[in-house]
């Protein structure tokens, strides 16, 4: 259990003891809240619980706080509990306990994680780009957000499934097949042209060339479905390769077409109609979303008989529920801000609560070079692909910058900053902390020393204020993971990683290991400290899907 939860439990138990002894009157126990104070002079943790109890206890907050402090049971992590006006409980951690965090980090591969999820089945749906073209810059943000969330949720004890929803049904896939066939015809010298709604990208010509090389002119006799199947298979494989380059892999690729093949789409419509939520008007099937607070009803099936996106999306979420997911996170781009709630209205209309379904929305990504926004790709002419970005800056800056801001804020991806090898670049700044730890270990080996020599080091020698400050910062990882795992806002993790590095680098400068003036017992203790720091940075970087380099 994270230390802030242990301290909150201790405060609550102290309140109960104070009531039992008569120092506090009877009242229902509230949840005790313990947090890190903004001013470290006020302690490592603090609780405002006494001020919250003033009304029900009918006592001055200061007296309530004094009663609670008097009944706090001894705790190995706690050095002191102080009362401060107007009624704060300020808790200071024991230095010896802090020093032992070095061993805890080294021994616990899931440091900072805990069993918040208790094995619950969770699903994270993200990216979900149509199988009609390459993964673009905009889609990659949702992918990185989703993959980071999945990594954190696993650290918190959830059984997580990463899922990609392929929109492989409807008009867009027919247009894809037509686009490839027309390009084949053009390559064979036929006078045909793409329509405005067809796919124009260079990749369509590449697909046509590959098809002609394999099948020759005879392929023109094939139906459009032949071109659709080929193009989708090739594009899907390319999308998977692109995402793998930034360490994103999915457990499930769910095909929209399967919802038509098993009849789930039309079954969904029938149930909604039976429940009175669907009516016909002007030849279309309408969903009474106004009964769920929408400003107007929405079309589920057009006059042509073709469903709008809402119907298969409702069927898809019904399928998710049937598969037993207890936590569902949908990560969508800015084009879903208005429409995502309508899908959840459909789930409610089917008879399910939606409190365990969370929609995480993110804003657009813009590329910036030399202070100016990049309008288009030099190779594609219309958009920037993920592959192009990886080729230019590598996967780690992409992973970091895509989650470095709240999803509610747009991202300006600074290409010049992303490749800069200086402390101005947060990616370099964080990874360089790991590199510095690795450098210490290399120098230790070069000096003919062994790591095993530090196994039983006396960690109580780690008394430098910067060493203890770093260990305090290490403790915050559990709080950050809990925040990410309950708010589904992954940007808290890169913020923490940067702050951890900011505490580390001054520590590295001040607390040397191999200096001639460093006594051998302190050398061994500090070696253990830097081994723990290295492991901690590797863990945080891995949670962000980034590499932990040994050299830079």
**What six digits make up the tokens of 548?**
């932990």
For residue 79, give the H/E element and its range: strand 78-84
What pLDDT digit, counting tens, does each position of 275-317 carry?
Answer: 999 999 999 999 999 999 999 999 999 999 999 999 999 999 9
Does the structure show a pLDDT above 90 at 434? yes
Q: CATH says 99-115+422-543 is which class?
A: mainly alpha
Q: Taking the domains of the chain in order of start, what are their residue ranges?
A: 3-93, 99-115+422-543, 171-244
Contact 511, 81 (CB under 8 A): no
81-116: b (≥16 Cβ within 10 Å) or e = bebeeebbbbbbbeeebbbbbbeebbeeeebbbbeb
Beta bridge partners of 369: 372
pLDDT tens digits, one per residue of 403-433: 999 999 999 999 999 999 999 999 999 999 9
Q: Burial-class residue 403 by CB neighbours within 10 Å (0-12, 13-18, 19+).
A: buried
> And the tokens for 317?
């979420």
pLDDT tens per residue, range 438-488: 999 999 999 888 888 888 999 999 999 999 999 999 999 999 999 999 999
- Tell me what pLDDT residue 381 has: 42
Torsion from C-alpha of 205, 210, 213, 217, nearest 10 degrees: -50
pLDDT value at residue 6: 95
What's the pLDDT band for 379 if we cut at 50, 70, 90? very low
- The pLDDT > 70 percentage for the chain reads 99
Q: In this model, does residue 378 exceed pLDDT 70? A: no
Q: Which of 96, 77, 110 is nearest to 536 (CA)?
A: 110
CA 367 vs CA 264, 332, 385, 433, 475: distances in Å: 41, 20, 11, 27, 35
The third-level CATH classification (topology) of the domain covering 3-93 is Gyrase A; domain 2 (3.30.1360)
Could you tell me which residue, 377 or 510, shows the higher pLDDT?
Answer: 510
Confidence of residue 376 (pLDDT cuts 50, 70, 90): low
What pLDDT score was predicted for residue 377?
44
Per-residue model confidence (pLDDT) at position 139? 87
Question: What is the model's pLDDT at position 380?
Answer: 40
Render pLDDT for 316-336 as a digit per residue (tens, 0 to 9). Answer: 999 999 999 999 999 998 877
Average pLDDT value for residue range 498-523: 95
pLDDT of residue 471: 98
Half-sphere exposure of 409 (CA within 13 A, CB side): 12
155 pLDDT above the threshold of 70: yes
Rounded to two decimals, the pTM is: 0.94
Three-point CA angle 305, 310, 314, nearest 5°: 115
């Amino acid at each position: 259990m994270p230390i802030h939860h242990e301290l909150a439990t201790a405060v609550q138990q102290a309140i109960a003891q104070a009531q039992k002894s008569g120092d506090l009157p009877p009242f229902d126990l509230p949840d005790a809240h313990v947090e890190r104070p903004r001013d470290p002079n006020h302690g490592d943790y603090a609780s405002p619980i006494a001020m919250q109890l003033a009304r029900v206890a009918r006592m001055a907050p200061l007296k309530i706080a004094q009663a609670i402090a008097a009944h706090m049971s001894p705790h190995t992590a706690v050095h002191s509990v102080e009362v401060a006006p107007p009624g704060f409980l300020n808790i200071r951690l024991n230095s010896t306990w802090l020093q032992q965090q070095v061993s805890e980090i080294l021994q616990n591969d899931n440091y900072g994680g805990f069993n918040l999820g208790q094995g619950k089945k969770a699903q994270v749906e993200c990216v979900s780009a149509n199988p009609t073209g390459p993964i673009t810059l905009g889609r990659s943000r949702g992918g990185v957000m989703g993959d980071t969330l999945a990594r954190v949720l696993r650290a918190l004890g959830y059984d997580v499934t990463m899922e990609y929803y392929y929109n492989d049904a409807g008009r867009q896939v027919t247009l894809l097949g037509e686009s490839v066939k027309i390009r084949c015809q053009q390559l064979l010298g036929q006078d045909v042209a793409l329509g405005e709604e067809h796919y124009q990208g260079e990749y369509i010509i590449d697909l046509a060339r590959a098809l002609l090389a394999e099948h020759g002119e005879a392929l023109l006799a094939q139906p459009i479905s032949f071109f659709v199947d080929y193009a989708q298979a090739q594009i899907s494989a390319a999308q998977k390769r692109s995402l793998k380059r930034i360490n994103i892999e999915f457990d499930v690729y769910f095909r929209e077409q399967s919802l038509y093949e098993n009849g789930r789409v039309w079954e969904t419509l029938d149930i909604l109609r039976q429940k009175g939520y669907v009516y016909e008007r002007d030849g279309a099937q309408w969903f009474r979303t106004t009964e769920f607070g929408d400003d107007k009803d929405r079309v589920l099936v057009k006059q042509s008989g073709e469903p709008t996106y809402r119907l298969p999306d409702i069927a898809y979420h019904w399928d998710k529920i049937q598969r037993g997911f207890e936590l569902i996170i949908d990560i969508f781009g800015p084009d879903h801000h208005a429409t995502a709630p309508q899908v959840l209205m459909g789930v409610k209309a089917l008879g399910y609560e939606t409190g365990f379904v969370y929609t995480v929305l993110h804003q657009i990504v813009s590329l910036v070079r030399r202070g100016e926004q990049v309008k288009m790709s030099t190779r594609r002419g219309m958009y920037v692909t993920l592959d192009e970005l990886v080729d230019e800056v590598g996967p780690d800056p992409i992973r970091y910058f895509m989650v470095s801001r709240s999803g509610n804020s747009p991202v300006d991806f600074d290409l010049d900053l992303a490749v800069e090898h200086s402390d101005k670049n947060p990616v370099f700044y964080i990874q360089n902390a790991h590199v510095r730890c690795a450098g210490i270990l290399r120098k230790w080996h070069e000096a003919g020393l062994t790591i095993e020599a530090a196994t039983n080091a006396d960690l109580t020698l780690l008394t430098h204020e910067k060493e203890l400050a770093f260990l305090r910062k290490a403790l915050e990882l559990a709080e950050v993971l809990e925040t990410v795992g309950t708010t589904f806002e992954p940007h808290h993790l890169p913020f923490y990683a940067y702050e951890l590095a900011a505490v580390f680098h001054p520590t590295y400068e001040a607390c040397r290991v191999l200096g001639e003036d460093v006594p051998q017992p302190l050398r061994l203790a500090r070696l253990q400290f830097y081994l723990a720091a290295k492991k901690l940075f590797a863990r945080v970087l891995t949670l962000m899907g980034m590499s932990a380099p040994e050299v830079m």
